[in-house]
């Protein structure tokens, strides 16, 4: 059995309390090494060393007082030019980005502020436009009413009377289609129905290639009467203020 | 100035930014522990005071090289150990003249018979401590420092190596040689008592 060397005994003395310390098993089984270790332990434990003299509470302050005068102050560290330039550049880039973003947002806000008044003011121009529509519609209904009256009292045997009706019907048909289209986009079912009936009548009236014969006139008169078309046109016409109907653009145009 | 309010790292940042007075907090905080280890190595109160000042001065001068992930207490402790080592190394010539077994005029050595006149006398006169002091002075500066750090400061061989600027094995060997020499020097006490 090989014995522990003095170096190993010394190492064990200082590390015996630490995890992984080696030598304990050997010392338990080897009387010679155990005796050697006991002697070492005795020698080291018997060593007495003077404890350091106690320092009072002001010791640190006194050390500092004697030391402070010998210490030059550190200069604030200068930044490396590359790092400094990098951060400076980054700062400029960030500032530019903020500036551009700010300008963009300001532009958006300005545009919005400009858009809103326009949107809000939209109804104002709509009023003249609506008045124009009413004028046109009123005029159209006037002419349609006269046509229907003439058709109602038309002499089926007189070609001279019927021919102007057909020409007027052709003229009214184009205007009626525009009015009908406008009415279709709106929310006035009565107007839409009346203009639709009027459109069929005007279409038939204007699309007779051989002219209006007595049979055709009689049929149209029958349709007009059965639909109550003249009555509808008069009712619609009555809903339009008189001032509008005569082609003025005065205020107060109502909705039909 | 509130010297106790900041931790060591915050104080160091302030010092490096130009606030010299902030270093006072570190001085106040660590002076006493530095004195303790300095005294154990130098075994002299005045020398220990010098070591404390020298260590804190060197610490201030090297503060820019202090790494933030380190512990300032450990860092300045190692500097103090080095300073103490330098201190006892510088006076080694004076110490050596007192620890020779044989009189040697060429080497300016003297016998230690006066110190080890006999255990009975030493015990009676209470000079065992002085005998141990003599034994300690027989060690080299590195051996003595390594022994103090191991025996009194409970440092590991790794910590001793770091403090002395040597490897852990070299630190272990230094402790081993120190113990060996001390046992030889103090064997006379054991035999005669």
| pLDDT tens-digit map of A197-210 | 888 888 887 876 66
Query: Tell me, what's the pLDDT at A186?
Result: 78
For chain B, the structural domain boundaries read 1-90, 91-193
HEC readout, B40-70? HHHCCHHHHHHHHHHHHHHHHHCHHHCCCCC
- Phi (first) and psi of residue A132, to 5 degrees: -65, -45
Residues of chain B positioned with their CB less than 8 A from the CB of A48: 128-129, 132
Determine contact: A14 vs chain B, CB below 8 A: yes
Class for domain B1-90, per CATH?
A: mainly alpha
pLDDT digits (tens, 9 = 90+) for B99-115: 333 334 444 443 343 44
Of A40, A53, A61, the CB nearest to B45: A53
Query: Tell me, what's the pLDDT at A125?
Result: 54
Selected from 1.10.10.10, 1.20.140.10, 3.40.50.2000, 1.10.3720.10, the CATH number assigned to the domain covering B91-193 reads 1.10.10.10
**Mean pLDDT confidence for A2-9:** 88
C-alpha–C-alpha distance, residues B185 and B132, integer Å: 8
Q: How far is CA B50 from CA A82, A119, B39, B78, in A?
A: 43, 87, 10, 15
Domains assigned to chain A: 6-43 (no CATH), 123-245 (1.20.120)
| Both tokens assigned to A220 | 């149209």
A246 — pLDDT class (breaks 50, 70, 90) = very low
For the CA atoms of A175, A181, A182, A183, the dihedral, rounded to the nearest 10 degrees, stands at 100
Determine contact: A10 vs chain B, CB below 8 A: yes
Q: Is residue A176 within 8 Å of residue A199, measured between CB atoms?
A: yes
| Both tokens assigned to A35 | 């005796």
Query: Tell me, what's the pLDDT at A202?
Result: 84
A74 and B128 in contact by Cβ < 8 A?
no
Residue A143 pLDDT > 80, yes or no? yes
Q: Identify the residue whose tokens are 């001390």.
A: B182
Residue A65 pLDDT > 90, yes or no? yes
A48 and B128 in contact by Cβ < 8 A?
yes
Residues of chain B positioned with their CB less than 8 A from the CB of A70: 57
A60 and B29 in contact by Cβ < 8 A?
yes
| Both tokens assigned to A110 | 């300005």
A50 and B45 in contact by Cβ < 8 A?
no
B53 and A43 in contact by Cβ < 8 A?
no
Residue A136 pLDDT > 90, yes or no? no
Determine contact: A11 vs chain B, CB below 8 A: yes
Q: Identify the residue whose tokens are 């960030």.
A: A94
C-alpha–C-alpha distance, residues B3 and B10, integer Å: 11
ipTM: 0.76
Å between A103 CA and nearest CA of chain B: 39
Report residues of chain B scoring pLDDT below 50: 1-5, 93-117, 124
Q: How many CB pairs under 8 A join A and B?
A: 100
DSSP secondary structure string, B100-146? -SS-BGGGTB---TTTTS-HHHHHHHT-HHHHHHHHHHTS-HHHHHH
Residues of chain A positioned with their CB less than 8 A from the CB of B159: none
Å between A52 CA and nearest CA of chain B: 6
| Both tokens assigned to B50 | 């010098």
pLDDT digits (tens, 9 = 90+) for B119-150: 555 554 566 777 888 888 889 999 999 999 99
pLDDT digits (tens, 9 = 90+) for A171-189: 888 888 888 888 888 777 8
Q: Is residue B40 within 8 Å of residue B28, measured between CB atoms?
A: no
What 3-state class would DSSP assign to B185?
helix
C-alpha–C-alpha distance, residues B22 and B33, integer Å: 19
B91-193 shares the fold of B1-90 = no
DSSP secondary structure string, A191-226? HHHHHHHHHHHHHHHH--TT---HHHHHHHHHHHHH
Residue A53 pLDDT > 60, yes or no? yes
- Phi (first) and psi of residue B104, to 5 degrees: -140, 95
| Both tokens assigned to A28 | 């338990």
- Phi (first) and psi of residue B123, to 5 degrees: -65, -45
């Amino acid at each position: 059995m090989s014995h522990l060397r003095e170096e190993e005994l010394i190492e064990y003395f200082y590390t015996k309390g630490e995890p992984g310390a080696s030598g304990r098993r050997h010392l338990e089984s080897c009387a010679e090494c155990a005796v050697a270790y006991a002697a070492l332990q005795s020698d080291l434990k018997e060593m007495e060393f003077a404890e350091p003299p106690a320092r009072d509470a002001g010791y640190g302050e006194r050390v500092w007082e004697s030391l402070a005068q010998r210490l030059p102050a550190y200069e604030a560290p200068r930044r490396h030019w590359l790092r400094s330039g990098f951060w400076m550049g980054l700062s400029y880039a960030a500032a530019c980005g903020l500036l551009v973003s700010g300008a963009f947002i300001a532009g958006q806000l300005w545009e919005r502020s400009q858009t809103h008044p326009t949107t809000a003011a939209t109804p104002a121009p709509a009023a003249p436009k609506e008045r124009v529509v009413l004028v046109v519609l009123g005029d159209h209904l006037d002419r349609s009413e006269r046509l229907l009256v003439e058709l109602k009292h038309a002499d089926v045997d007189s070609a001279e009377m019927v021919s102007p009706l057909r020409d007027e019907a052709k003229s009214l048909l184009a205007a009626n289609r525009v009015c009908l289209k406008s009415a279709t986009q709106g929310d006035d079912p009565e107007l839409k129905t009346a203009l639709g009936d009027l459109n069929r009548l005007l279409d038939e009236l204007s699309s007779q290639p051989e002219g209006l014969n007595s049979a055709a006139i009689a049929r149209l008169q029958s349709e007009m009467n059965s639909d109550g078309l003249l009555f509808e046109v008069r009712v619609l016409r009555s809903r339009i203020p008189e001032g509008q109907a005569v082609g003025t653009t005065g205020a107060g145009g109502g909705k039909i | 100035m509130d010297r106790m309010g900041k931790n060591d790292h915050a104080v160091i940042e302030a010092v490096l930014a130009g606030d010299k007075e902030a270093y006072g907090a570190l001085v106040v905080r660590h002076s006493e522990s530095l004195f303790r280890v300095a005294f154990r190595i130098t075994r002299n109160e005045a020398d220990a005071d010098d070591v404390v000042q020298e260590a804190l001065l060197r610490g201030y001068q090297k503060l820019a090289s202090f790494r933030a992930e380190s512990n300032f207490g450990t860092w300045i402790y190692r500097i103090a150990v080095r300073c103490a080592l330098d201190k006892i190394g510088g006076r080694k010539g004076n110490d050596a003249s007192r620890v020779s077994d044989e009189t040697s005029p060429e080497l300016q050595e003297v016998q230690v018979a006066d110190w080890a006149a006999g255990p009975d006398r030493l015990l009676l006169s209470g000079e065992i401590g002085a005998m141990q002091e003599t034994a300690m002075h027989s060690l080299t500066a590195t051996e003595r420092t390594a022994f103090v750090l191991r025996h009194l400061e409970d440092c590991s061989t790794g910590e001793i190596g770091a403090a002395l600027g040597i490897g852990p094995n070299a630190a272990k060997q230094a402790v081993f040689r120190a113990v060996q020499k001390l046992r030889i020097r103090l064997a006379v006490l054991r035999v005669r008592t």
